[in-house]
Structure 1
């Protein structure tokens, strides 16, 4: 790879344009990183394309989920640096880089939007006012569309809006009675408080004081699949886990692919970006294979007695596709089910109308869950919250037809 023919200033300007594209596509690229990238390239040189690729990668990529987007943007931009510059000047149409329907290396929607012009040409004030009014009228419908849109098909702007919406979502798991008591107008007589009240009145009058069992939210344990088939959903659900962890106490979060990783301490960071950066550095098997049976066995052996006390509720997020073909999975899920108050399985595959539990891993997990729901958009998370807030949250399946299929399976 050789430097541009004009001068080093133009080459640095191209790096700035490349960083601007990554920022529009959703990567956290600021001015500081742009300066670091230019300095790093000056030190590493551009004699070899691979060296140049990994130099920019080391500066701009700090999480595993950012790598595919960076890889696409690099190969598109540095194949012809003039493409982006002309598009930034709004000289090319939006679909200049659209690939054909048969191209296997299709550009992601977020990258296509980042490469497209971000500003419209100047228009008269009347047309701009009319456009603003139209957008104001469509706000409600756009919000409804965002609620029902699949995470996998969202653009960069829609993903950011969904992440902000997740920060307000809550899981209203009903409180359960504990051994401690609290003052109550009715219930058992509290002899200690009654005798103290009698001493204050001189013993002439003995006012009865009562107590009742106190109630508290049970612990919440989250087991999230981060394998390759769950990549897009696990990225988004990490924001949901972060919101839950900072909303209530006693929330324990684990992720698993080929191994189990406890990320509870990182989810307690106040800033969600700091939390995800720490998780990215901690987790080594991101977007890899899946060994559900072995990872659940590891959880049962080393963590269940620590975090499943006092009637914990377990949130199990996975598509159920196990690389080990479900060996030993049924036994481990049965043990997990018996150790918790309620086992909730969230599976994005359930969004399909013709879903059937044919995979061995899914068939091994299914008999041991209390609630089985889909998790592929914001609406599914809101429906889960509504179900858990009902006093009769015992209907584990989203439709009677699937319940009948399960009973006959």
Structure 2
């Protein structure tokens, strides 16, 4: 569907911000368009206020945000000069087209995962249909009793309940004309804990991406609340796509949603983008969070460490599952992985569906 010209211009601005490493989620872009519509684009200031309120640029990057805003919407001379003073890779460029990068050159893909390519591979990823992995069968069989649970606030009748069920007791007393036959007791009903999956789809994880998505699809069908996101150079929510019953259709829909398959890795900004959205942050309360990534972050590991620390304070269980740990000789040697060891509950193997299922079924045994 083709966007109206005014809306397309606003979307192009968010693409510009993403190209300059501002972490933005799809929901934030939608909220930005809605805010501009509510405020009315009467002036550049109203658009700027809508952008600040919904896109939430980091405080320490407000000057860069304003320079990009003026260069894009106003093309002011001082903004262009300010942009030129930035490093070349950060300099804002007004995109008068659709805001899309040029197709990547042959051999331009970063397979190491340590650096994101300047031109991302915006291609449609296709997944070969395979027979079910035996580990998926094990997950289907054991998940109902093994997945972690918590006590909900909903109460159910129980002879051995920890408290009185006043409502049912009063109803029974009324039914017996005021005679107290027996007081009813209740207990809090157990319910499955929500699960949040973050899947690294960068070039270095290409060999594992298909298995991770098959695992996520199977888990989504079994557990009540499962939210799945992918990240490479940006964060994408694919929960709705994976709720399709047929796996081939679910993976095809997910492939169409994601635009940064097999590119570079920006783990820290992706996690910060997740935390910048209040709706996503609310998902973490009492949840199990599994990050499926090799942890090969480029640049400063501080944003990744800070984001993982914030997630750990909210989630009930946080595990980082990396395919590198499938090797028994594996030791976390990168600065990023070392920085997060104090905040995660487990650094484990994510080298196969079987290892993912093994960890998933053991989470419920945690005291």
Taking structure 2 as the reference length, what is the TM-score of the superposition? Answer: 0.61
What residue number does 1:253 align with?
A: 228
Distance in 1 (alpha carbons) for counterparts of 2:130 and 2:236 = 26
Structure 1 or 2, whichever has the larger Rg, is 1
Distance in 2 (alpha carbons) for counterparts of 1:263 and 1:160 = 21
Q: Relative to structure 1, is the Cα distance of residues 162 and 193 closer, same or farther in structure 2, using a 3 angstrom cutoff?
A: closer
- What SS does the corresponding residue of 2:221 show, helix, strand or coil? helix
- The answer to whether the aligner puts 1:166 opposite 2:141 as a matched pair is no
Aligned length: 239
What residue number does 1:28 align with?
A: none
What residue number does 1:344 align with?
A: 319
Contact 1:292 1:326 in 2 (8 A): no
- What SS does the corresponding residue of 2:187 show, helix, strand or coil? strand
- What SS does the corresponding residue of 1:373 show, helix, strand or coil? strand
Q: String of CA shifts for 1:58-86, please: whole Å, max 9, x gaps.
A: xxxx94256xxxxxxxxxxxxxxxxxxxx
Deviation of residue 185 (structure 1)? 0.4
What residue number does 2:153 align with?
A: 179
Contact 2:165 2:184 in 1 (8 A): yes
Q: Relative to structure 1, is the Cα distance of residues 336 and 391 closer, same or farther in structure 2, using a 3 angstrom cutoff?
A: closer
- What SS does the corresponding residue of 1:169 show, helix, strand or coil? helix
What residue number does 1:308 align with?
A: 284
Contact 1:337 1:343 in 2 (8 A): yes
Q: String of CA shifts for 1:26-77, please: whole Å, max 9, x gaps.
A: xxxxxxxxxxxxxxxxxxxxxxxxxxxxxxxxxxxx94256xxxxxxxxxxx
Contact 1:290 1:323 in 2 (8 A): yes
Deviation of residue 200 (structure 1)? 1.3
What residue number does 1:115 align with?
A: none
Distance in 1 (alpha carbons) for counterparts of 2:256 and 2:180 = 66
Q: Relative to structure 1, is the Cα distance of residues 294 and 183 closer, same or farther in structure 2, using a 3 angstrom cutoff?
A: same
What residue number does 1:64 align with?
A: 125
Distance in 1 (alpha carbons) for counterparts of 2:207 and 2:280 = 28
Between Structure 1 and Structure 2, the one with more helix by share is 1
Cα RMSD, aligned residues only: 2.1
- The answer to whether the aligner puts 1:268 opposite 2:329 as a matched pair is no
- The answer to whether the aligner puts 1:232 opposite 2:215 as a matched pair is no
Deviation of residue 222 (structure 1)? 0.5
Contact 2:150 2:193 in 1 (8 A): yes
Distance in 1 (alpha carbons) for counterparts of 2:356 and 2:303 = 30
Taking structure 1 as the reference length, what is the TM-score of the superposition? Answer: 0.55
1:44-83 paired onto structure 2 within 5 Å: 63-65=124-126
Contact 2:265 2:296 in 1 (8 A): yes
Deviation of residue 335 (structure 1)? 0.4
1:3-42 paired onto structure 2 within 5 Å: none
Contact 2:274 2:281 in 1 (8 A): no
Structure with larger RCO (C-alpha < 8 A, sep 6+): 2
What residue number does 1:211 align with?
A: 186
Q: Relative to structure 1, is the Cα distance of residues 356 and 65 closer, same or farther in structure 2, using a 3 angstrom cutoff?
A: farther
Q: String of CA shifts for 1:277-317, please: whole Å, max 9, x gaps.
A: 111111111000000000000001114334223x1111111
Distance in 2 (alpha carbons) for counterparts of 1:244 and 1:281 = 21
Contact 1:245 1:267 in 2 (8 A): yes
Contact 1:167 1:243 in 2 (8 A): no
Distance in 2 (alpha carbons) for counterparts of 1:340 and 1:192 = 34
What residue number does 2:268 align with?
A: 293
Contact 1:169 1:382 in 2 (8 A): yes
Which range moves more in the overlay, 171-180 or 331-340? 171-180
Deviation of residue 162 (structure 1)? 4.8
Distance in 2 (alpha carbons) for counterparts of 1:189 and 1:319 = 50
Contact 1:177 1:213 in 2 (8 A): yes
